[in-house]
Structure 1
């Protein structure tokens, strides 16, 4: 599999996740926000709460699937990027924050993808 096809699949997964979250009332603030410490896939508002959503897509459930791919090392990177985001966007810094994971895997002929939204997936 080429890097281009992986990137395209990742972009599609982020689009599915964003649509799902918006259908549940969340509002997109930023998509693919980058800093020197990492990237935030989706930064959204859920009412008054700022949500940092990590989108993970896995074609196979080997090695635990999409959910387990957000290990403690990845959680620290997301949290560090979120801290930089809050420092560079002080208008959001006083809001409660939450880290969510949207785990996506291929579905079947009836449902193209399976999406598992884990609210408050981790805390740091």
Structure 2
């Protein structure tokens, strides 16, 4: 049971990002960076799938109330994520690269149900 093991939401976010990263590594992706912050927002995970750069948004919800984790990627969040990705590409001078945006939704207490959606937008 996870209740009470986190002292703040940042700690909880890092925990579930670690779960998502391990899951993606098991499926062949290679970690590049975590928690890239810029004025537009944050990119939870940056990974590579062969030559494709993969920008990953991770969301956790304990219950299915209000649609659960899978329904948390709003239009506003997608816009912030797009802008953050463009900023990352500028900061690291990445041009003409293959990229995609994935979404990892983690649901429930242990064991966690993980849904990985490739090319979410």
Provide the TM-score with structure 1 as the length reference.
0.88
Matches within 5 A, 1:1-124: 4-90=7-93, 92-107=94-109, 112-122=111-121
For structure 1, the 5+ residue unaligned runs are none
Deviation of 1:93 after TM superposition, in Å, equals 2.6
Deviation per CA, 1:95-123: give whole Å up to 9, x if none: 1111100000115xxx511110001111x
Structure 2 segments unaligned to the other structure (5+ residues) = none
- How far residue 64 of structure 1 moved from its aligned partner, in angstroms, is 1.3
Q: What SS does structure 1 have at the residue aligned with 2:23?
A: helix
Find the residue that maps to 2:7 and give its secondary structure. Answer: helix
The number of residue pairs the alignment matches comes to 118
How far does residue 56 in structure 1 lie from its aligned partner after superposition? 0.2
| Whole-angstrom distance in 2 between the partners of 1:71 and 1:116 | 17
CA distance in 2, matches of 1:63, 1:98: 27
C-alpha RMSD over aligned residues: 1.8
Q: Quick check: which one's helix share is greater?
A: 1
TM superposition shift of 1:63: 1.5
How far is the alpha carbon of 1:6 from its aligned partner? Answer: 2.4
Shift in Å, 1:75: 0.4
